[in-house]
A = this chain, B = another copy of it.
Amino acid sequence: MDSITLIAMASIITAGITTSIGCMMPALGEGKAVASALSSIAQQPDAAPTITRTLFVGLAMIESTAIYCFVVSMILIFANPFWTHIIAK
């Protein structure tokens, strides 16, 4: 097991785990937010535009945490500075 293999394995496994674990709770949080939005619209149809607008801002905030994980995952696969250093050696 040379250095290149080890760095590659660590990058592959971490990239997968980061995305999969990091996407769990945003999905649940968005589900909760959407569910609340729908029952709010049903309760107060006149406020639908305000509710929808607030929902989209909130979903964007929640999605941002999933994006962080996806970004870290992509960095580890396609722009990994440790991998660059090792294969350049």
* Residue ranges of A at the interface with B (Cβ–Cβ < 8 Å): 1-48, 50-52, 54-59, 61-66, 68-70, 72-73, 75-78, 80-83, 85-87
Contact = CB atoms under 8 A, between A and B. Distances in A.
Contact of A32 (B10, B13, B29, B44): B29
A63 to B, nearest CB: 6
Main secondary structure of the interface of A (DSSP, over half): helix
Contacts of A12: 7, 10-11, 14, 76, 80, 82
Given A29-B32, A69-B23, A72-B73, A13 B15 contact: no
25 contacts: A3-B8, A10-B13, A11-B82, A14-B16, A14-B17, A20-B69, A20-B72, A24-B24, A25-B28, A25-B31, A26-B65, A27-B65, A27-B66, A29-B31, A29-B32, A30-B61, A31-B31, A31-B33, A31-B58, A34-B55, A36-B38, A39-B42, A41-B47, A42-B47, A58-B59
